[in-house]
A and B are shown apart, each in its own frame.
Chain A
Amino acid sequence: MVAMFRRRIAVVVCAAAIAALLAGAVGAGYDWSRGSSELEAALVDATPIRVADIPAADDLPARGVFAQSTSTGHFCLSDAPLDAPSMGGGGCNSVDDPLGGSVLTTSLAYDGGPAIETVKDARLIGLAAPEVASVRVVMSDGSSRIVKLKKTKVGSRDFSAYGFRVRKSDLRKGIGPIAVVAYDERGAEIDRQTTGIG
């Protein structure tokens, strides 16, 4: 009788442990304190929309800037190969606030490093609000580069997207991006996002 009771308790405890673990895995969602398994799954399901390009240069292939609105309520912008738009990295904000409270977002991606001279490829992508008329990348030697903006939509809202590749000749000389600056139509600076390699 006692043995049967113990056996039943063991079975119940075992089942409860497995159920709790499975429930936790399914209901994880976006919780910054845990792994975002639901966001990962939602990114797999969300169709990537190509909103800008990163031109081929220095023997490196062209890449795309892809936007995804997920079922978890995120807007994600990533930099990925043209034939594999789900295989890139980037960033996600709330779909209600794709710019994260700014008028410009900037995401830097690079391969190699962390010493800048050993970086093989460095790219910048981002999204800008309609009041942004132009964007420039500020380099560590004080020079700047013009960024081409491409109009796009997130839901029904208008934005501009961009993709930019850092020249290999700059990287070899130890010159990299340190900021991305947004200007209005009068040429006044309206936002500055810092960045950097390393």
Chain B
Amino acid sequence: MRKLVLLLAVTSALVFAGAALAVETYGGPRFWYPGDSAGSSWQPGWTRNAFNKATSGYETTVTFIDNVSYAWHGTVRNKEMVTYTYWWSSQVKKAHCKAHTGGHWGGCHVS
């Protein structure tokens, strides 16, 4: 019985850890006001950053920030339903998103 419980715990931990590394929702999901922003954890493996909104028409930015110069990389700004970018670098980085117009529902996701 103890072995089975241990197996259950280890299996669940591995699956959850895999899921957590695959996608991190770091902003929301919530209602965004003008100027609101959010940032993810620092990871070398992040490559895709997206601001997903319920509808188009609201201006948002997504970018990656490196942990050395804190410069922005692959920044994209638009009013589409999904604003997305890629930065193909092994450098340690965090995802950052910002709502310019605000007044909308949405969530920021990095993977």
Contact check, A93 vs B56: say whether CB atoms are below 8 A apart: yes
Contact check, A91 vs B15: say whether CB atoms are below 8 A apart: no
- In the assembled complex, the Cα of A75 lies from the Cα of B4 at a distance in Å of 48
Classify chain A's interface size.
35 or more
A-binding residues in B (CB < 8 A): 1, 4-5, 7-8, 11-12, 15-16, 19, 22-23, 25, 28-29, 48, 50, 52-54, 56-57, 59, 62, 71-86, 88, 100, 105-107, 109, 111
Contact check, B8 vs A13: say whether CB atoms are below 8 A apart: yes
| Interface residue A3 (Cβ < 8 Å from any Cβ of B) | yes
Q: Is the interface of A mostly helix, strand, loop or mixed?
A: mixed
- In the assembled complex, the Cα of A33 lies from the Cα of B29 at a distance in Å of 5
| Interface residue A107 (Cβ < 8 Å from any Cβ of B) | yes
Measured CB to CB, the closest approach of chain B to A153, in angstroms, equals 19
Contact check, A91 vs B28: say whether CB atoms are below 8 A apart: no
- Tell me which residues across on chain A come within 8 A of B107, comparing CB atoms: 32-34
- In the assembled complex, the Cα of A10 lies from the Cα of B3 at a distance in Å of 10
Measured CB to CB, the closest approach of chain A to B98, in angstroms, equals 9
Q: Which of A13, A14, A33, A111 has the most CB of B within 10 A?
A: A33
Contact check, B72 vs A32: say whether CB atoms are below 8 A apart: no
